[in-house]
Amino acid sequence: MTVTREDNLWVAVVDGVPAGATDVERFSELEIEVRDLVAGLTDRGPDRFNLDWRYLPGGIDVTVEIENLVHARTDAAAAAGRRDEALRSAIAALRGAGLSVRAIADVVELSHQRVHQLLSSGAA
């Protein structure tokens, strides 16, 4: 799969698939559109095949950089999830220890209003 930039569109050409080309305005739409295209042309479900991407905007291969960014975003999302779980756990433990909302806010470095909100919503 080769992705280029043409006329303000992201163009994806699926190697080895006749009529296997599509274009989108937003980069984030590429995977969904390409999966739909390939699924329709090959009579397979959109989650039944792997896509190997090659990014060549302006004729310059930026595949490694895009893949690094995707992996970094995935890692950051996982870390944010762990942070949020640790925050909820800490707030609950501190409240269970009898600390005030203001004292908890001081420990977790949030406003007391946000801590109160988390406690009230049951998220902590």
% of the chain surpassing 90 pLDDT: 91
Return left, alpha or beta for 5; rule: phi > 0 is left, psi -120 to 50 is alpha, else beta. Answer: beta
Instruction: Check: CB of residue 24 under 8 Å from CB of residue 36.
Output: no
SS (H, E, C) 89-112: HHHHHHHHCCCCHHHHHHHHCCCH
pLDDT band at 87 (very low <50, low <70, confident <90, very high): very high
Give the mean pLDDT of 63-92. 97
pLDDT digits (tens, 9 = 90+) for 57-73: 999 999 999 999 999 99
